[in-house]
Amino acid sequence: MIGRFVKDSLGRSPRRKAAIVAAIALGSAVATSMLGVQLSIGDKINRELRRVGANIAVTSRASSLEGGVGGVTANAAGAADYIHEADVPKIKHIFWGLNVTGFAPSLAARSGSLPVEGVWFAHSYQKPDGSTATTGVRDVNPTWLLEKGQWAQDGADQAMLGEGVARRTGWKPGDTIDVLGSKFHVAGILSTGDATDDRILLPLARVEALTSRPGLVDRVDVAALTVPEDTFARKDPRMMTSGEFERWNCTAYVSSIAHQIEEVLPGTAARPVRRVADSEGKILDRVSGLMMLITLAALISAGLTVWSLTATSMMERRGEIAIMQAIGGARWLVASMLAFEIALIGLVGGLLGAVLGVELARLVGQSVFHDAVEISPVLPFVIMAAAIVVALAGAWQPLRRTLRMDPAVILREGV
């Protein structure tokens, strides 16, 4: 009975039903594309945000202690001021090692009045799986601009000048300069937008040798893909229960990644660079919030369209519904038949919307992020279920109002 009723009913007012299907399909397509993009390119957004620089700074625990007038650095008794350069690649051995996109050890020194920093420019290291990769300041700070010349090489007596140093000294690429009592060839000039503009960058190995600190660094800058921090992420791990600590440690918070770095590099203090980490979290939250807002707006618009068209349809079908009730049809049975018809229309609209939404998500991924978007196979089914819910929610008020009318009054009016 229900099947025959729905079959006959679907053949009536085809334009109105097509409009309902179109409205649901459009809302479902927007929802599919926004959720697909949000779920599949979170890391891509984070990688774009990672271009602002390192979000974790690692120093020795002794040199991280500050005290005295003006915050003068104080050393803990028996504690070392440096990190062993050979231990730095252990950062990739942490649980979230794959999220670490780059790291750059450095060693600070002074040549007269000029700050000098030994760094990895593009240094090779062995990954946990035995393969070889390169990392250094070029990976950790992709926003640094090479104003003139070319990048220095780690194994050569070459130097990179911050633009502030180059402007004050008049040095330019091709010059030979004396730094730390040794001759270096100026390879290029950098514009960094930070304190590095006033420094001279040399290969780390050369600074270690010239300052008699072989194999030692005093800082490691780490760039890692993280998720936005919430109130739970900022809890003190020492105050957490075992279950809370496991959840915190197994989430890619910047604080939990920093904690794991401290575990593989004993004697160090890994601190999130809050200015960078907080900015990433706010941007990610706002992007996710915007996508959710667009999704909700699309589904609500589809629901309102269903409500408008269903209200018109119910007004036209009052006589038919009144006759079914007058001959003994229970209200729940009539409601079930109409709801089944509406759910079927919603399913068709949701199916069309899911197919269109997948293609739209791929288009957004290619045009905005220049990368493919991988849609979860579960998402289209979730969208189709949501489309059915939206269709039923939009039709609920007109259907309820029609069923509450007195069949005798409607039939007496000759409707």
Q: Which residue among 216, 249, 272 closes a domain?
A: 272
Evaluate whether residue 183 is within a structural domain. yes
Looking at the domain assignment, is residue 119 inside a domain?
Answer: yes
CA angle 41, 43, 46 (to 5 degrees): 110
Same domain, 249 and 368: no
User: Cα–Cα–Cα angle for 277, 283, 285, nearest 5°?
Assistant: 100
Chain segment 178-222, per-residue pLDDT in tens: 999 999 999 999 998 888 999 999 999 999 999 999 999 999 999
**Same domain, residue pair 289 and 259:** no
- The last residue of one of the domains, among 239, 272, 305, is 272
Give per-residue pLDDT as tens, 298-310. 888 888 888 888 7
Given a cut of 60, is residue 371 above it in pLDDT? yes
Q: Are residues 332 and 400 in the same domain?
A: yes
**The two three-digit tokens of residue 379, written as one number:** 């998402």
Q: Same domain, yes or no, for 248 and 339? A: no
Query: Does a structural domain hold residue 49?
Result: no
Query: Mind listing the pLDDT tens digit for each residue in 4-39?
Result: 555 555 556 677 778 888 888 998 899 888 888 777
pTM equals 0.61
Altogether, the residues listed in the chain come to a count of 415
Q: Please write the tens of the pLDDT for every residue from 235-263.
A: 888 889 999 999 999 998 889 999 999 99
Average pLDDT on 274-300 reads 73
Position 282 confidence tier, pLDDT thresholds 50, 70, 90: low
**Which three-class secondary structure state does DSSP give residue 82?**
coil
109 and 250 together in one domain: yes
Q: What is the spatial distance between Cα 37 and Cα 34, in angstroms, rounded to a whole number?
A: 5
Instruction: Specify whether 71 is located in the same domain as 197.
Output: yes
Residue-number span of the structural domain to which 129 is assigned? 55-272
Q: Provide the number of structural domains found in the chain.
A: 2
Query: Is the same domain home to 240 and 151?
Result: yes
Q: Among candidates 243, 210, 11, 220, which has minimal Cα distance to 100?
A: 220
Q: Are residues 261 and 321 in the same domain?
A: no
